[in-house]
Structure 1
Amino acid sequence: MAHNAAIHVMGQGAQLAEGNAVREETVLVLKRVLTVTLICLALLVLLTKRDSLIQVVDHPISSIKVTGAFSYLNESEVTQALSGLVGAGFIATDLKDVQTRVEGLAWVNSATVSRVWPGEIKLLINEQVAVSQWNDGALLNAEGVVFKPAELRSDLLVLPQLIGSEQFSASKKNMMYSTLGVLQQGLKEYGLAIRALELKPRNVWNMTLSNGVAVAMGEIKLQDREGQQNLEAKLERVGKVFSSRANIDVANISRIDARYPNGVAIKWRSGKK
């Protein structure tokens, strides 16, 4: 009988311990649920009341700092583009919007915008670098991107001009600039330079030399060795026209047609043949 009583007591102890463990686990689960609930509520408040909270803790922008090396960009243009920024909320201000406004300026290639505590907006600007003129009144950078300043200074007007369709992609415009470099290099030994280079449909090229003479080059292919050799031969024939040994009235030349395989045709300014 005593043995049965002992077993009964032990059974009650085990049930009690098991009950305590269940209660502890339940309390732990409830704490976790409560914690997650509180976090979700806090996030919900932050999301729904974000603007109100920002207004409470925000403070106005006190200054704008512009950095970068500029040859053509006027810092006042940047300030004007960001009119109204000083005094706006330091935290609430959309930096992407600031970047877009600055990069909308013709002479800005790219801009990096950052906040500097307590109230400064800092801009690091990379200025555009023009490698040629593009059509009328615009410029081209080395990536084939066209930009159009309000006016072109005299030092920009000496850049060679590329002429082509406004529908050309940046890569095609870049190809035109590369072709210009090849032509310039080929004519250099004859003391000639290119004032303008035009790409017409069907890969037809025309150029105007710095002395005003127009040259019809026809098709140019630089992708293979044969095309490169054909171009070298064309440039040699054009160059020889201007050599002193050619005994030609160079000043009276209006146009040279270099599309022929073995020679050139010359059009004279006064109709001379």
Structure 2
Amino acid sequence: MTTATVTPETEVQDDHVYALTELEIQADESCAEEFGPSRLQRGLGLFFFFMVIVFFSWMFSSMESYLTDASKMPMSALIIQGEREYVSDDDIRAVLLQKPTIDNYFSVNVDDIQAKIESLPWVYHASVRKSWPDLLRVYIQEQPVVAIWNDSQLLNEDGIVFDADVNMAPESLVKLYSPDDRIKQALVKYNEFNQLLQLNDYQIMTITVNLRNAITVVLRNGIMLRLGREDALSRIQRYIDYVAVLDKEKIAYIDLRYDTGFSVGWKNDNKE
């Protein structure tokens, strides 16, 4: 009968295999410590990185200080463009000299300058551009004024009221009278009436829209047209069709607030 036994040699062999594996692991750790960065090296790397950041921050700050120094790159030339009748060069210069003044090419804020110029009453739109190395170019578009509103303010073609010297406006401007909430309505009526009347050689002097939306038109020949609240355009056409048979020099007003026909008020006569 054969009996299997475990000899000491077998146990020695197993222990020997385990011992070799542990040595290999220790050797790998030793190599990693030998070739990996030391604490001193890592510290020097972080210090160098920090110094690079400090250097570039200082360089950026110095460059910014240099570029925004008014004595280094001053704005010394100005070009003003655009057809102008009411906005003078002195008006623009006065705006540019307001605080903060324009000193340096890089520090000038064109959006801020544009807003300041557009705050001038007669300026409808402004465009501001910088040109290297010292030129500021300003383009001006004046208000497209179309009427005098309530004798005190001016009205542009967009129906926007602006404050400017009414005495500077052309004498040919129509005068519109209306409540505050009927400004655009009055302008629309003026454009409709004016197109029709100009085709027949008539010019409007004033248009009044009252609180009840009743409309009165005064022509430059002195005749007042009372149009009422409805069918104003067709009533003007009625005036054009029939006024030729009347003596316009003697007419004070024509009341067209009828479905058909009209009544006439004569100068120096209280009777119609």
Superposed pair shares fold, TM > 0.5: yes
Percent identity over paired residues: 21
What amino acid sits opposite 1:195 in the alignment? M
Q: TM-score, normalised by structure 2?
A: 0.72
Deviations 1:89-144 (A, max 9, x none): 43334433322331122221111223323222221222222223333254322212
Alignment pair present for 1:163 and 2:161 = no
Deviations 1:133-165 (A, max 9, x none): 3332543222122334435457x2112222223
Report the Cα distance in structure 1 between the residues aligned to 2:203 and 2:174, rounded to whole angstroms.
9
Report the Cα distance in structure 2 between the residues aligned to 1:20 and 1:109, rounded to whole angstroms.
77
Report the Cα distance in structure 2 between the residues aligned to 1:178 and 1:136, rounded to whole angstroms.
18
> Does the Cα contact within 8 Å between 1:130 and 1:140 map onto a contact in 2?
yes
Report the Cα distance in structure 2 between the residues aligned to 1:241 and 1:23, rounded to whole angstroms.
107
SS at 1:158's partner residue? coil
Report the Cα distance in structure 2 between the residues aligned to 1:255 and 1:202, rounded to whole angstroms.
20
CA shift in 2, pair 1:21/1:99, >3 Å? farther
Q: 2:134 aligns with which of 85, 103, 119?
A: 119
Report the Cα distance in structure 2 between the residues aligned to 1:176 and 1:151, rounded to whole angstroms.
19
Q: TM-score, normalised by structure 1?
A: 0.71
What CA RMSD, in Å, does the superposition of the two structures yield over aligned residues?
A: 4.0
Report the Cα distance in structure 2 between the residues aligned to 1:21 and 1:255, rounded to whole angstroms.
109
Q: Which runs of 5+ in 2 are unaligned?
A: 1-14
In the other structure, the counterpart of 1:194 is 204
In the other structure, the counterpart of 1:204 is 214
Q: Give 1:249 deviation, angstroms.
A: 3.3
Alignment pair present for 1:234 and 2:266 = no
Task: Map 1:47-66 onto structure 2 (within 5 A).
Answer: 54-55=68-69, 59-66=73-80
Alignment pair present for 1:183 and 2:193 = yes
Q: 2:255 aligns with which of 254, 257, 272?
A: 257
In the other structure, the counterpart of 2:114 is 99
Q: 1:140 aligns with which of 155, 168, 186?
A: 155
What amino acid sits opposite 2:251 in the alignment? I
What amino acid sits opposite 1:236 in the alignment? Q
In the other structure, the counterpart of 1:5 is 19
CA shift in 2, pair 1:126/1:213, >3 Å? same
What amino acid sits opposite 1:74 in the alignment? S
SS at 2:259's partner residue? coil
SS at 2:237's partner residue? helix
What amino acid sits opposite 1:216 in the alignment? R
> Does the Cα contact within 8 Å between 2:66 and 2:72 map onto a contact in 1?
no
Report the Cα distance in structure 1 between the residues aligned to 2:264 and 2:91, rounded to whole angstroms.
50
SS at 2:212's partner residue? helix
SS at 1:180's partner residue? helix
> Does the Cα contact within 8 Å between 1:110 and 1:127 map onto a contact in 2?
yes
What amino acid sits opposite 1:124 in the alignment? Y
Report the Cα distance in structure 2 between the residues aligned to 1:107 and 1:203, rounded to whole angstroms.
30
